[in-house]
Chain A
Amino acid sequence: MNQLAVAIHKLNEGRMDLEGCHLNSLELNALKLLSNLLEMSPADLAAHLQLEDDPTEWLINPPIVFSSMKQVS
C-alpha cells in the first residue's frame, strides 16, 4: 500500500515518473479503474504504467460510479 500511495501522489501532482513504484497487478488495476479520477486518459496512464493490456477496454468497462453516501457500520 505504501507504493500505491506514492504512485497516487505522483499522479495527483501530474508527475509521470512512476518507474520506481513497484505496484502489484491489483494495484495497477485499481489505478486503471480510477484513471478518470486522476484526470488522465486511460491510454496515457497505461503508457506511464507500461501496461501491456489494451486501454480501450477501460472505456468499455468504465469505473464504478460512487454515488451512495450510505454508512456501513
Chain B
Amino acid sequence: MDPQKRKSNSISSLPEFVSGIIRESIPEGDYQRRLEGTAASLIRDFQDMVTLNFLPSISIGAVVEDLNKSIPITAAWQLIRLAAKLYDDAEDNESGSIDGKAINLATGFLFVAHAALDKLTEYGISHEQSQRVKTEFNRACLLTCAGQDLDLSARWDQIVPTPDDWLEIARKKSGESFAWASWAGIYVAGTSEEMQASLRRYGLHLGILVQIADDFNGIWNSTITNDLSAYRVTLPISYAYYVSKSDKQATLLGLLSNAQQRSPEVILKGQNLLLALGAQKFMLAAAQVQRQEAVEAISQCCISSLSKQKLIFLLDLAFSALPPLE
C-alpha cells in the first residue's frame, strides 16, 4: 500500500474513535448527542491533515509511518482545544451572556479527552509511556488554566503587563499545551530525549505564535467583540502602553474606557492610535521571533525534510493569520 495512503487511513478513524468514547462513556440522551454532534462538526478526518489540530499526528509522522499510535493523543488534543475555545468564549463573554450549557459541554470534553488518553495502551503504547503522556497532559492543562487566570486578572484599568509579562502569560496559556501536543506524538514513537526536547520547544513557540496572531486579530480582525471593548490586555495594548509616555498612556486608557460602550467610532480611534504607535509592526516582529525560535528548534532534528516542511507549514499557517499591515 502507498505509505501516504496508509498513514491517512489510520488517522481517518479519528472521528469514529471520539464518537466511540462518547457512546461507551455515557448513556444515550440529549447531552451525549450534543457532545457527539459538536465533536463531529469539528473533529475532521485526514483530508485537511496539515493543520494545528493534527499537531500530534504530524509530530509522530516525523519519525514513523504508522500514525495509529497518535490517534488517542490527537483526539485528546482536539478535544482540549475545543473545550478551551468554549471556555474562552464564555470567559470573554463573546456570546453576550453566560451560556451554561456551553460551559457544561466544555467540561464534558475535558473528560472525553482524558478518556481518549486512557485508550493509549490499546494502541500499542506501554503503560509507563501512557502514564507519562497523561501526567504531562494534566500539567499542560493546569499551566493553561494558570495562564488564563493571569490573563483574566490583567485588566488595563488596574495594572498593564509589559510585553515580557505578556510573553510569560502566553507561554503558559498557549505555549505549554502546544508543547505537549508536539512532544507527545514524538514521545510515543520512542525517540531520543534530545528529539523530544526539540519538538517540545518547537510546540512552545508555535503556541505563542498562535497567541500573537489571536491578539492581532482581536484588535484588527474581530468579527464579534473587539478586544478594545473588553478589559483584557492583549499584546498590542501591552506594547502601546509600555512604549508610550504618560500623556499617550492617558489617551490610550481613556479610549479603552470609552470603548466599553462598543462604539465603532471609538474602536476605530483606538485601532488607529495603536497603529500610529507601531503596534502592528511590533506584532509582526514578535511573531517573527517566535517563528525563528521554532524553526531553530527543529533545524538539527533527524527528521525527514517532508516532516520539517509540514512543521514549518504549521508555523506559516499561524503566521498567515496575521493580516496585511494597514
Give A contacts to B, CB under 8 Å.
1-2, 4-6, 8-9, 11-13, 26-27, 29-31, 33-34, 37-38, 64-73
Starting from the known contacts A4-B285, A4-B289, A70-B321, 9 additional A-B residue pairs (CB-CB under 8 Å) come to A1-B163, A1-B167, A5-B282, A8-B281, A8-B285, A30-B289, A38-B281, A67-B320, A72-B52
* Inter-subunit contact A68/B320 (CB<8 Å): yes
CA distance A66 to B324 in the complex (A): 5
- What DSSP secondary structure best describes chain B's contact surface? helix
- Closest A-chain residue to B170, C-beta based? A1
- Is the C-beta of B109 less than 8 angstroms from some C-beta in chain A? no
- Closest A-chain residue to B316, C-beta based? A64
Interface positions of B from 254 to 299, Cβ below 8 Å from A: 277-278, 281-282, 284-286, 288-289, 292-293, 296
Identify which of B98-106, B209-217, B226-234 touches chain A: B209-217
* Inter-subunit contact A2/B321 (CB<8 Å): no
B110-121 interface mask toward A, CB cutoff 8 Å, 1 = contact, 0 = none? Answer: 000000000000
In the assembled complex, which residues on chain A have CB atoms less than 8 Å from the CB atom of B164? Answer: 1-2
Report B162 CB to chain A, min CB distance, Å.
5
B306-322 interface mask toward A, CB cutoff 8 Å, 1 = contact, 0 = none? Answer: 00000000001111111
Work out how many contacts link A and B, with CB atoms closer than 8 A.
102
Number of chain B interface residues as a range = 35 or more
* Inter-subunit contact A67/B167 (CB<8 Å): no
In the assembled complex, which residues on chain B have CB atoms less than 8 Å from the CB atom of A69? Answer: 221, 321, 323
* Inter-subunit contact B322/A66 (CB<8 Å): yes
Interface pairs (27), CB distance under 8 Å: A1-B163, A1-B167, A2-B162, A2-B242, A4-B163, A4-B282, A4-B285, A8-B239, A8-B278, A8-B281, A8-B282, A9-B243, A9-B278, A12-B278, A26-B293, A29-B289, A29-B292, A30-B286, A30-B288, A30-B292, A34-B284, A34-B288, A64-B288, A69-B221, A69-B321, A72-B210, A72-B318
* Inter-subunit contact A1/B281 (CB<8 Å): no
CA distance A5 to B242 in the complex (A): 8
Interface positions of B from 51 to 85, Cβ below 8 Å from A: 52, 81, 85
